[in-house]
Structure 1
Amino acid sequence: MPPELVVTASFLFLDLPADLVGMDIAAAGRILLEWQREWTGSGGALLEWTKWSSVCNRGVVAVQPSETVVELQQNGVFDEMPRRTVVSWNTALTACVDNDCHDRCVGLFSAMVEAGFEPDQTTLVCMMSAAAELGNLPLCKWAHGQVVARRLDMTLQLGTAAVNMYAKCGLVSYAWRLFERMPAWNVWTWSAMIQGFAQNGLAREALKLFERMKGASVAPNYVTFLGLLCACSHAGLVDEGRQFFHEMRHVYRIEPMMKHYSAMVDVLGRNGRLQEAYDFVMDMPLEADPVVWRTLLGACQMHSSKDCIDIVRKVQERLLELEPKRSGNYVMVANIYCDVGSWDEAAKARRVMREGGMKKMAGESCIEVGGLVHRFIAGDDSCPEYDRACSLVHELNLNMRKCELIDGNSLIYA
């Protein structure tokens, strides 16, 4: 919105007689955002008015999409609201989940509880979603425990979130027991369980559940087919994958999204159908995004041979156009060339990477200890216990070698 229109809109809004004209809260939120974008740090009267107004809670709720709510949080508006309600807290939590700010969601929830607000169903659904994406099992169990402790009904929304949460953390048996105990299921519940089976290598169970879902006269949605394609990919069921993709379009009239095309490329690529996967990408009605091309490149690396080099070169060209500064693409290409003995091509890929100022990103791992998730990267020596840890690994290495449990090169330590 042009600055002059922002000014006009804001003063017109402030001049509205509150007792005669209904308050348009969405307008308040939108004007606030425009002020913040045009004059960061000098929102003036409107910014201050919105922070302290009794309509602020509803104003935050009305601002859409979720990215806007995150922006308001980052600009400090939410933190300075003195009259927050459970609704405004939940809106901020939902925005964090929708925008993959899962750590922030957990922190925001802690602040909500410390401020004396009682979590409701929506709050716990957000927490379950964040815990699932973070892979934080203690947090998952705590969120589920809160449902029990607060004697909340296991509604469809809560039940589906719990099934998805446990499945993403690898506890498929927990997810399955919850699923079976639910009094009713909707398409999202069925899809969450199908995806849970698929992502944990239980492809046959996923396909059986889909048949049961159809028997219950529940029509699948786009998430259902993502789970089915994932199952086919991991189980090597190429024909079934093709059939599901066909049914999605022509039987259920669901238009495939980019992630469906990527999943279908994975079905073909994982099973060595590299040329077919490449032809599939070229025939897509959408312009393939980097994820689709990286999926195909990953399949080429999995089945690397001199026969796939032509496809690798074509994929490399597309990725260099779409992501010229992504170091991982160069690393993958160089590794494929090394695997097939094309050393000059591998050296060229790494040289282009160096000349472009790119570095290979260090691998990151995480571990849960004492209820806390700790992240670390390869070669990271910043931990205060680093020297002690290396000493312990060295001692374990020596003892195992004495017991002839390992050879001299089995453990690498600093």
Structure 2
Amino acid sequence: MKISAVKGMKDVLPTAQGEDAPFNSRIWERILNAGREVLSRYGFELIHTPVLEESRLFARAVGEETDIVGKEMYAFEDRGGKVLALRPENTAGAVRAYVEQGLPMRDPVQRWWYFGPMFRRERPQRHRYRQFFQLGVESFGVAAPEEDVEILALARDLIEAVGLVGVELRVNSLGDEACRPGYLEVLRAYLEERRDRLCADCQRRIDRNPLRALDCKEPGCVEATRDAPASHEHLCDPCRQHFDRVLAGAAAMEIPYVLDARLVRGLDYYTRTAFEMTAQALGTGQQTAVCGGGRYDGLVKLLGGPPTPAIGFAMGVERIATLLAEAGGVPAASADLFLAFADPRGLEAAQRLARQARGRGLRTEMDLRGGKVSKQLGRADRRGARFAVVLGELEVQAGRARLKEMATGQETEVALDALVEEVWKRR
């Protein structure tokens, strides 16, 4: 009986092509390796948190009225009667770990990054899957607006490192507990006047969480809220000063941005600076979000810790991979050295050389099925090997072999005990 992957969940494989090209693991490896390099330069350290958390963590952190918690979360009761959930995002889990380990008092300044799967029960469609991966960062303990600028610079550098071009940064300020209530009253009055033009969900949101109406994608709601009051025009003095310094810092760091009054993000924990990065999809010409984040200065306290400033963002790996696949296709396989063998003595020599080459840091492959040398060299070509060598009884006895540069076909006679060093120099 054939068993298929669960609906809305995809395999990530090196053989993925065509429509599944965004799920080719070579593209994902490119994203992860580029991200790891940039993040290390900024002083961020890797974390892993459980994919299963208590459901109440997300209800409290993300918000009861959000679609994520209300409609999309995978939650179930375990045998002990505890309600658990597959994480729909990772900031809540990171904050839970930060508080649980006593870091707010012991070592409050932390810079973390993660790469892993999230889960939401959405209708599967382009760019939306029920299991999706995020590369994200969380920075704790620094309230200065210059930290916001640093995070914006990091997001820009990550996007550039993975190879995306034409990405637009949109920013807004959502205020804080001092000024947001006043803004929400103004927004609520605006929405009430247009209640009949809003979808049923947004009509309910007027009283519970009016900001969500600005994030609604229903055409009628988008049109009805087109001229809605802007949060950045209703800031208290501290929030205004903070945002002004963020914008000035972005300009000084040559980070281009667009001020977007409609940008509210889909999670309730954001305060002050919020941002999103979008790129144009080649197929549709539509803008698609590839990164989003902002400040969440109240979340550590909400989850049981002392007041602690924090800021972060997450990047959608599938969305980035889709754009990379559309722009440049799937990267070819690559190896530094392919070792073919003609007989048992050649196999023994190939295994010894493979160990030496790998120890030297060379990507080295063999086809241990053996068979005709021509077929082995054909595989070397398909695997994108830069160099190949054929080993057999004669080469072992002579202590020499012909090193072939696959791109040109040029061959060079090399001593076996110098072969690895020769490839390393010419790689």
TM-score (normalised: structure 1): 0.17
Relative contact order, higher structure (CA 8 A, sep 6+): 2
Bigger helix share: 1
TM-score in terms of structure 2 length? 0.17
